[in-house]
Amino acid sequence: MFCNKCGSSISNTVNYCGQCGENLRVTKGEVNQSIAGDNGFSAGQYNVFTGNNINLGVRDEKPTAFIDRKSVKPVKLMGKHIKTAWLMVVGFVGFFANVATIFTSIGTPNNYNLILWLLCSFSAFLFILGFLLKRFRFIPLIFQRNAESDRSGHVYITKLSGNCALCDGELKLRNLGPKNNKKMFLCCTRNPEHRCHFDPTILSDPIN
């Protein structure tokens, strides 16, 4: 066997090269190394995002940025915490109820058609939001806010923030890319080049 670093001939029984000191456990397959990107970003309880350099069993000396929820607000109605199933049921029933009302009023004067169409659109939004949250548990909204659900289906409005590892800028969530293929990134407010793919599945359940 030969050292990958200096090329010296070495015995299979040693773990370090006698010439350069290289750790031979990676060469022999005892330590796995997976490389998936070039910037280290972490989230909530120091979880490492996909898209970074991930060295299993090998200490990573690269700077690491951490991001977590800065705001967590449970969505409640009359004091009860709303669930994704509630959004889907209310949205489904409301949509078809409003559509039925609109069609039954065709041909007769009705000053409430605009309101009915708005209610119909809102009901459709509730159903789609509930469905997406049930499936993905993380949906970006507007004004740096996100809709999230925990494993029990409870719905929250959250805000993510963190500090850039490469400068003193703040990390913000951005949707970047082609119109039909946008992806979520963590972007530095000082230097947009300091960014990393954001993987929301790494986040732990929201805690109020």
Using the predicted structure, report yes or no on whether residue 62 has a pLDDT greater than 50: yes
When pLDDT is averaged across residues 105-128 and rounded to a whole number, the result is 84
Distance from C-alpha of 63 to C-alpha of 23, rounded to nearest angstrom: 22
Residue 188 has pLDDT above 50, yes or no: yes
pLDDT of residue 109: 63
Q: Which two tokens stand for residue 200?
A: 């929301």
**What pTM did the predictor assign?**
0.62
- pLDDT tens for each residue of 3-51: 766 666 666 665 656 555 566 555 555 443 333 334 444 444 444 444 4
**pLDDT band for position 179 (cuts 50, 70, 90):** confident
**Of 18-27, 86-95, 198-207, minimum mean pLDDT range:** 18-27
Burial 145-160 (b: 16+ CB within 10 A, else e): ebbbbbeebbbbebbb
Residue 159: strand pairing partners: 71
Distance from CA of residue 137 to its chain's centroid?
A: 9
Cβ atoms of 182 and 176 closer than 8 Å: yes
Instruction: Measure the CA–CA gap between 45 and 195, rounded to whole angstroms.
Output: 20
